[in-house]
Amino acid sequence: MATTLPASLYRGDEQYERERASVFSPSWLYVAHESELSAAGSYVATVRAGFPVLVSRGADGTLRGFHNVCPHRAGPLVHDGAGTASSFVCRYHGWVFEPDGALRGARDFGEPGPAEGCRLWDVQAAAWRGLVFVNLDGSAPPLLESLGTFADEVGGFDLEGFVPAGTWSHDLECNWKTYAENYLEGYHIPLVHRELARSIDVARYEVEVHENWVLHRAPPKDGTVLDGRWLWRWPNLALNVYDDAMNLEQFLPLGPDRTRVAYQYFSRDGTLDEDVSRLSKLLLDEDAAICEAVQRNLNAGVYGHGVLSERHEGGVARFQDLVRAASASRGAADGGLGPRSSRVSARWPRPRGA
């Protein structure tokens, strides 16, 4: 029988910094829908696990990603949100960067100028079927290869035919893993989600575990055939897709004990079904209450570790194996945060004469 991760991994700055380096920096992370980046010069700036990141569409149609951190003295290039820009002008001292990240000019810097080749720190950016992902440290294999059989699972769905229908987010007082693990099992449904339990056949709830993704299934009680897929992909993305609607759910860590759950809803005509929206808010309220209670108990110092049900908690077991594997590969918190990783820092040349 699998034992759980120890409670000590669900709190504290040290573990959080370790996971920023070992989990979030080397993974492909969803950041935006491609419709937000359709025009030449459009950009989206956001933060993932504390890393400020910027994705833009060049005039040549290329999608590019950068850390939203100026190499001069760490100023922001753009404010968070969406916009268009033909170049990036740092908000602090006005250095100007080309759309491909090269330094065009260091305003009134004097001599000697910044080092030859000074540029923004790149991150990998790529789109898959309308969804834009970044890999912050540049170490991940190409996106489609990383997605693997997860991509095949939704091969029959017309994802490209969806348009955004709304967003919603909710901040929870819990570690991101507490929420992710709750998402990864249906064992709690009869106790926590009474309305959902009335509409699906809970006894036939199934969790199918794959290498770095998980599929949930439960037949509706009214006898209809469920044509959708409820999918989770390491580390923090859930994709629920049906013939006529899709929603993306991200578990965004804001710190060791705070997590933003962010939804993006999509439909064929851009309208949001009120029932879908009401039910997802109800489910999140119910999950938030139980996750916050669990987190308080994890913090209380009573629980060390527990056990996982083979029948119901295979998804949680796989998630915890992936957390363990990530920690083993990058144990130290100073090993791979964004531009300090070797691949990206190689692009930051030494100052002249150094």
Record the tokens describing residue 145, joined without a space. Answer: 């290869």
249 binds Fe ion (CB under 5 A): no
Instruction: Indicate if the alpha-carbon torsion angle 237, 229, 124, 126 is positive or negative.
Output: negative
Contact with ligand FES (CB under 6 A): which of 50, 58, 75, 164? 75
Quote the least distance from Cβ 352 to ligand FES, whole Å.
18
Nearer to ligand FES, 122 or 249 (CB): 122
CB-nearer residue toward Fe ion: 147 or 214: 214
Question: How far apart, in whole angstroms, are the C-alpha atoms of residue 78 and residue 88?
Answer: 7
**Residue type (1 letter), 353:** G
Q: How many CB atoms lie under 10 A from the CB of residue 285? A: 10
x/- binding map, residues 281-300, to Fe ion, per CB under 5 A?
A: ------x-------------
Rg (CA), the chain: 22
Query: Shortest approach of Fe ion to residue 217 CB, angstroms?
Result: 15
| Residue 70 touches ligand FES, criterion: CB under 6 A | yes
DSSP 144: H
CB-CB contact of 96 with 108 (8 Å): no
**To the nearest whole angstrom, how small is the minimum distance from the Cβ of residue 109 to ligand FES?**
9
CA pair distance 25, 336, nearest whole angstrom: 7
Piece of 71-79, 203-211, 298-306, 340-348 that binds ligand FES (CB under 6 A):
71-79
Nearest distance in Å: CB 106, ligand FES? 7
Counting residues that bind ligand FES (by CB under 6 A) gives 10
CB of 3 closer than 8 Å to CB of 305:
yes
With binding defined as CB under 5 A, does residue 181 bind Fe ion? Answer: no
- Single residue of 72, 170, 229, 312 touching ligand FES by CB under 6 A: 72
Residue with tokens 């957390």: 323
Complex with Fe ion: residue 280 or 299, whichever CB lies closer: 280
DSSP label at residue 354: -
| Contact between residue 264 and residue 241 where contact means Cβ atoms under 8 Å apart | no
Q: Which are the contacts of 269, defined by CB distance < 8 A and separation ≥ 6?
A: 163
What part of residues 85-104 is at the interface with ligand FES (CB under 6 A)?
90, 92-95
The residues of the shown chain that bind Fe ion, judged by CB under 5 A, are 287
The residues of the shown chain that bind ligand FES, judged by CB under 6 A, are 70, 72-75, 90, 92-95
